[in-house]
Chains A and B, each alone.
Chain A
Amino acid sequence: MKIAVCVKQVPDTWAEKKLRDDDSTLDREAADGVMNELDEYAVEEALRLAEANGGEVVVVTMGPERAAETVRKALSMGADAGVHLVDDSLHGSDALATSYALAEVLAARNFDLVIFGSESTDARMSVVPAMVAERLGLPQVTFAQKVDVDGSKVAIQRQTEYGYDDVEAELPAVVSVVEKINEPRYPSFKGIMAAKKKPVETLTVADAGLDAAKLGATAAWTKVASFAARPPKAAGTVVTDEGDGGAKIATYLTEQKFV
């Protein structure tokens, strides 16, 4: 079985995120880049499926030069190979463009299963897996908290508000996973060393045979027109306890309609 995992490099979850003054895109240089957290679960699930059913795991990312670190991380966890789409003209791509580029790269490589995280921590649109599936004309079984592959079928438990749905599809298919699905492994030290020798294919827009007119900021259907920082937290209300602190807090809560 040939499994692809799409991973995105995002600014460190705990770092303050900033938009760039010049073009209102995310400032990716301002913080350390890490693998999108949910994508670690996607890699873990791919590795488990490959270990159980035999097969190969290829990580695919679109992102700037340093996104190569994220590919390495997945390789050191145990993935077999990487594909890194990197090109200045991709900067500012919207979700439509991202899904177009990823879908083309995936289509050229004939995967049985494509696994995504269900959401990134930076843009959080939670649309790329569905868009890619649509472009590839593949069934999408998304928000999986459990994945099983049996012969030519994939069966998932889709996490819902009330519990879960059982959903099945024929392979090839697109899956996205939620946090509940597994516990991602640490890369091993041997894995880190081995990752250096694993093949990573670096592609430009031209290498991938993509239409540049559909990519980048100029092609985007949406544009961030302006932005403002969230206002700092207000000072808050200090209640001084002079034996009546409890009553004062109760009054405050009632005034604010909390109780």
Chain B
Amino acid sequence: MTCIERRLPSDEARALLDLTRDMCAQSLAPVVDAAEEKSEFPRDIMNLLGQTGLLSLPYPEQFGGGAQPYEVYLQVLEELSSVWLSVGISVSVHSLACFPVAEFGTDEQRQHWLPMMLAGDTIGAYCLSEPHSGSDASALSTQAAIDVDGFIINGQKAWITHGDLADFYNVMVRTGESGANGISCLLVAAGTPGLSFAPRELKMGAWASPTAGVIFDDVRVGPDHLIGTEDGGFRIAMAALDAGRLGIAACAVGLAQGALDAATTYAQQRRQFGRPIAQFQGLSFMLADMDTAISAARALYLDAARRKDDGVEFGVAAAKAKLFATDTAMKVANDALQVLGGYGYTRDFPLERYFREAKMLQIVEGTNQVQRMVIGRALTDIS
């Protein structure tokens, strides 16, 4: 990927981005195509990222985190995604899965869970969606009955990234009345009896990123596995998604940049009518528009990230960033493929992969209609 001139806040951030680019070039780029082709989750790559500290960047140092602001963490995510979206998504989802206990856990819970979650050799999952509740997440129906020993979970989650291979699961469950006020957030460790998985979804793209249903059949967890208060989980789920959406926005910008870079290189080399196709204004204007949209999307997610880092409200800014960055990624992937003509439509070039992958980003962590809903509500005060 072209080396984006980033304005980073510290020397350590610069060193971190250099390290990320090195790993992308030396360890990710050589294996991405084969792993995607085989739908193989790159556990070794995740372990490598863990060893170098890339799986714990936005969390406190005292628990093993990298203590990096979102502004920096997200740019790392962007670089990873420019080469391999499935890996970017994995890092983003893992960070999302660490969020509830890091932000809403008690001191004891943070002590107990975070060192394991941030060690670099574990991967988390975030279980909100269900077969019958997607955008309308507060209608979820996975039940957790309460008894003296804690919670007994029954039900099924759908579409869960890392579904069948995570080491820990954040699960949003119904413990009280219907609607948003009867939902709790529970942590479940892999291997807990009663936990099983549906076969992986056969997706359009991001084949190396496993997505599967998670089934709970009398899964018991102790009372100390409750994050936040009983029936107070929906607020946690939404706060996690505000942060998670920034991750998806960064992934989208990375993907778009990767697609543009491939298209630009091609346009410089491919000759038709006796000259490089980049010399046709019709084509170079397309490239210019892509580049401009990517810069705008990057600026938007960085603005939202800096709000978060400053501790001010950032939810609506994150929704705008997610909406714009993922719509941009879709459009750029489409146009970049067009630049390669017939070659873009083959598997010899990565453009068809970017195209298939971009679509997912408009759907996950709140569809882009849901983002517009969030933005519209904030604008009009009418819901």
Residues of A within 8 A of B (CB): 76, 185-190, 192-193, 196
B12 touches A187 (CB 8 A): no
Within 8 Å of chain A (Cβ to Cβ): is B173?
A: no
Inside 8 A of A193's CB, which chain B residues have their CB? 12
Q: Mark B55-90, 1 if CB is under 8 A from A, else 0.
A: 001000000001000000000000000000000000
| In contact, A189 and B22 (Cβ under 8 angstroms) | no
User: Which residues of A are found within 8 Å of B51, using beta-carbon distances?
Assistant: 185-186, 188
Q: In the complex, what residues of A have CB within 8 A of residue B268's CB?
A: none
Q: Pick from B12, B22, B52: contact of A188, CB below 8 A.
A: B52
20 contacts between A and B (CB under 8 A): A186-B22, A186-B23, A186-B48, A186-B52, A187-B19, A187-B52, A188-B51, A188-B52, A188-B53, A189-B12, A189-B16, A189-B19, A189-B53, A189-B54, A189-B66, A190-B53, A192-B12, A192-B15, A192-B19, A193-B12
Q: Bound complex: CA of A189 vs CA of B12, how far in Å?
A: 8
Assembled-state Cα–Cα distance A185/B48 (Å): 9
Is the CB–CB distance between A190 and B66 below 8 Å? Answer: yes
Q: Given the complex, which residues of A lie within 8 Å of B57, measured CB to CB? A: 189
Chain B residues within 8 Å of A, Cβ to Cβ: 12, 15-16, 19, 22-23, 48, 51-54, 57, 66
Cβ–Cβ < 8 Å partners of A188 in chain B: 51-53
Give every chain A residue within 8 A of B52 (Cβ-Cβ): 186-189
Q: Is the CB of B16 within 8 A of A192?
A: yes
Inter-chain pairs besides A186-B19, A192-B12, A192-B16, 13 sampled, C-beta below 8 Å: A185-B51, A186-B22, A186-B23, A186-B48, A186-B51, A186-B52, A187-B19, A188-B52, A188-B53, A189-B57, A190-B53, A192-B19, A196-B12
- Residues of B contacting A76 with CB < 8 Å? 15
Contacts of B23 in A (CB 8 A): 186
In the complex the two chains form, what is the Cα distance from A13 to B53 in whole Å? Answer: 27
Bound complex: CA A196 to CA B54 (Å)? 19
User: Chain A CB within 10 Å — which of B22, B48, B52 has the most?
Assistant: B52
| Most chain A CB neighbours (cut-off 10 Å) among B12, B15, B51 | B15
The distance from the CB of B326 to the nearest CB of chain A, in whole angstroms, is: 28
- Complex: chain B residue closest to A192, CB-CB: B15
Chain A residues, CB < 8 A from B15: 76, 189, 192
Per the bound structure, the CA–CA distance linking A185 and B27 in Å amounts to 11
**Assembled-state Cα–Cα distance A186/B48 (Å):** 9
A193 to B16, CA, bound (A): 10
Kindly list chain A residues whose C-beta atoms are within 8 Å of the C-beta of B53: 188-190
Interchain nearest-CB distance for A186 vs B (Å): 5
| Complex-state Cα separation, A252 to B48, whole angstroms | 50
How distant is the Cα of A80 from the Cα of B65 in the complex, in angstroms? 22
B147 CB, min distance to chain A CBs, angstroms: 43
CA distance A187 to B53 in the complex (A): 10
In the bound assembly, the distance between CA atoms of A196 and B52 in angstroms comes to: 17
A76 vs B57: C-alpha distance when bound (angstroms): 17
List of B residues within 8 angstroms of A185 by Cβ: 51
Shortest Cβ gap from A61 to chain B (Å): 19
Residues of A within 8 A of B16 (CB): 189, 192
6 tightest A-B CB contacts, nearest first: A189-B53, A192-B15, A188-B52, A188-B53, A186-B52, A190-B53
User: Which of chain A's residues has its CB closest to B27's CB?
Assistant: A186
B-side contacts of A187, CB under 8 Å? 19, 52
**Alpha-carbon distance between A13 and B174 when the two chains are bound, in angstroms:** 59
The complex places the Cα of A196 from the Cα of B11 at a distance, in Å, of: 10
In this complex, which of A188, A189, A190, A196 has the most chain B Cβ atoms within 10 angstroms of its Cβ? A189
Which of A76, A187, A192 has the most chain B CB atoms inside 10 A of its CB? A192
Taking the closest CB of chain B, its distance from the CB of A231, in whole angstroms, is 25
Residue of A nearest to B22 (CB): A186
Shortest distance between the CB of A43 and any CB in chain B (Å): 15
Output the least CB separation between B215 and chain A (Å): 37
Q: How far is the CB of A73 from chain B (nearest CB, A)?
A: 10
A189 vs B51: C-alpha distance in the bound complex, in angstroms? 9
- Name which residue of chain A comes closest to B15, CB basis: A192
Kindly state the separation between the CA atoms of A76 and B12 in the bound complex, as whole angstroms: 12
Expressed in whole angstroms, the minimum distance between the Cβ of B52 and any Cβ of chain A is 5
CB distance from A255 to the nearest CB of B (A): 31
